[in-house]
Amino acid sequence: MDSAQADSAPPVASSPLSPADRLIVALDLPSANTALDLVDELQGLCRWFKVGMELYYAAGNSIVHRLRDRGFEVFLDLKLHDIPNTVAGAIRSVASSGASLLTIHASGGEKMMRAAALAASRPEFPRLLAVSVLTSIDAADLSATGVPDSPETQVLRLAKLAQAAGISGLVCSPQEVASVRQVMGPDALLVIPGVRPAGSAGSDDQARTATAAEAIARGASMLVVGRPITQAPDPSKAAASLLTEIASA
């Protein structure tokens, strides 16, 4: 990765991060107005918000601009995966949105990731994160796609591939983060979905989960949390509770 991009990137794991720097609230919602209503309801507790495919396809770059205008940081989770030239072009197209982080799929291969890293090398472009194995996938699901290895083995394989391609950030489940941290080192930005509050009764459609405290203790840089906050009876209270759990880790 170009040094200019690294200079503009979010804090890495070795930096002292506040709980608000570690929590990304996933705005997996159908419209910009619904998303911004939730942002208002959180009363400034959170600094980071994730805009994924559902919201981005509904609202486009405008939702990123609106969040940025309010002073928030944006994780644009588009999971780009195509031929190298197409992914590089997509990165250049979304760069003007102002997002701080952007995802591509590590399974697109080293050539694709190298093209992505080159396209994102300008300092004003978002820092790239390579998505490894989705947290909804277990060993049986992975085997059905033709990968006979465990999710952890495949995650580590993709982490090494991403690092070789010049991408120093990875998205993986809480169950692999300790191993990935050993492989990618202390300065890698490890963003972890599949996080559930302590005492949570279920995992929804996530197969490989952990609590916020467990994920931080294993080496996570930042945590992505959606439904435990967005579908809570009191989202502000749920976010505050998670921030307390992160602070205690």
Q: Which residues are catalytic?
A: 79
Contacts of 43 (CB under 8 A, 6+ apart): 236
Q: Where does residue 204 fall: left (phi above 0), alpha (psi -120 to 50 degrees), or beta otherwise? A: left
Give the type of residue at 156: L
In DSSP terms, 157 is beta-bridged to none
Give the type of residue at 159: A
Would you give the distance in Å from CA 155 to the centre of its chain? 15
SS3 of 6-29: the string is HHHCCCCCCCCCCHHHHEEEECCC
Q: Which two tokens stand for residue 133?
A: 């194995």
Distance, in Å, from the CA atom of 156 to the CA atom of 5, rounded to the nearest integer, reads: 24
Contacts of 11 (CB under 8 A, 6+ apart): 17, 21, 221
Residues written for the chain? 249
Cβ atoms of 177 and 218 within 8 Å: the answer is: yes
